[in-house]
Amino acid sequence: MSDNPSNDASLDRTGAAVRGDRFSGGPAREFLSSLAADERIFEADIAVDRAHVVMLAEQGIIEQSAASEILTALEAIALNGHDSLPDGEDVHEAIESAVIEQVGPVGGKMHTARSRNDEVATCLRYRLREDLLDSVSATLALRAALEDVAHEHTDTVMPGFTHLQPAQPTTVAHWALSYERAIARDTERLLAAYDRTNCSPLGGAAFAGTPFPIDRERTAELLGFAGVVENSMDAASARDFLLDSTAALAGLATHLSGLAEDLIVFANKGYVDLSNEYASTSSIMPQKKNPDTLELVRATAGTASAGLDGLLTTLKGLPRAYNIDLQRASGHAWSTIDAVTEATDVAAGALTSATWNESALADAAGDGFTTATAVADKLAMCGLPFRTAHEILADAAQHGGDVDAIEAAAADVLDEPLETYLTRDELHALLDPVHSVESRDSRGGPAPSAVGEQLDTTADALDTDREALDRRRSGLEQAHETLTEVVHSHV
Ligand code: ARG
Residue 322 CB less than 6 A away from ligand 1: yes
The catalytic position among 2, 6, 282, 474 is 282
How many Å lie between the centroid of ligand 1 and the Cα of residue 117? 6
Count how many Cα atoms sit within 13 Å of the Cα of residue 216 in the half-sphere of its side chain: 24
Amino acid of residue 452: G
pLDDT in tens, 401-432: 999 999 999 999 999 889 989 999 999 999 99
Whose C-alpha lies nearest to ligand 1, atom 11? 324
Q: What is the mean pLDDT of the chain?
A: 94
CA dihedral 74, 80, 84, 85 (to 10 degrees): 10
Count how many Cα atoms sit within 13 Å of the Cα of residue 468 in the half-sphere of its side chain: 22
282 is catalytic: yes
The pLDDT assigned to 445 comes to 98
Residue 120 CB less than 6 A away from ligand 1: yes
pLDDT in tens, 253-265: 999 999 999 999 9
Q: What pLDDT band is residue 23 in, cutting at 50, 70 and 90?
A: low
Of 25-29, 137-141, 444-448, which gets the smallest average pLDDT?
25-29
Residue 324 CB less than 6 A away from ligand 1: yes
How many Å lie between the centroid of ligand 1 and the Cα of residue 120? 7
How many Å lie between the centroid of ligand 1 and the Cα of residue 327? 6
Is the pLDDT assigned to residue 19 strictly greater than 50?
Answer: yes
Cα(434)–Cα(444) distance, rounded to whole angstroms? 17
Residue 117 CB less than 6 A away from ligand 1: yes
Whose C-alpha lies nearest to ligand 1, atom 12? 327
163 is catalytic: yes
Residue 116 CB less than 6 A away from ligand 1: yes
Task: Judge whether 108 and 7 are in contact, CB under 8 Å.
Answer: no
Is the pLDDT assigned to residue 14 strictly greater than 70?
Answer: no
Q: What does the DSSP 8-state code read for residue 290?
A: B
How many Å lie between the centroid of ligand 1 and the Cα of residue 325? 9
The answer to whether the peptide bond before residue 321 is cis (omega within 30 degrees of 0) is yes
How many Å lie between the centroid of ligand 1 and the Cα of residue 91? 10
How many Å lie between the centroid of ligand 1 and the Cα of residue 45? 13
Cα(245)–Cα(189) distance, rounded to whole angstroms? 8
| Mean pLDDT calculated for residue range 228-241 | 98
Amino acid of residue 224: G
pLDDT in tens, 280-295: 888 888 888 899 999 9
Whose C-alpha lies nearest to ligand 1, atom 2? 327
Residue 34 CB less than 6 A away from ligand 1: yes
The catalytic position among 10, 163, 359, 442 is 163
The pLDDT assigned to 284 comes to 81
Cα(491)–Cα(489) distance, rounded to whole angstroms? 6
Most ligand 1 atoms within 8 A of CB, residue of 118, 324, 332 to mutate: 324
Q: Is 323 exposed, middle or buried (0-12, 13-18, 19+ CB in 10 A)?
A: exposed
pTM for this predicted structure:
0.93
| Mean pLDDT calculated for residue range 435-444 | 95
pLDDT in tens, 387-405: 999 999 999 999 999 999 9
How many Å lie between the centroid of ligand 1 and the Cα of residue 116? 6
CA 180 vs. chain centroid, Å, equals 14
Most ligand 1 atoms within 8 A of CB, residue of 90, 311, 328 to mutate: 90
Q: What pLDDT band is residue 248 in, cutting at 50, 70 and 90?
A: very high
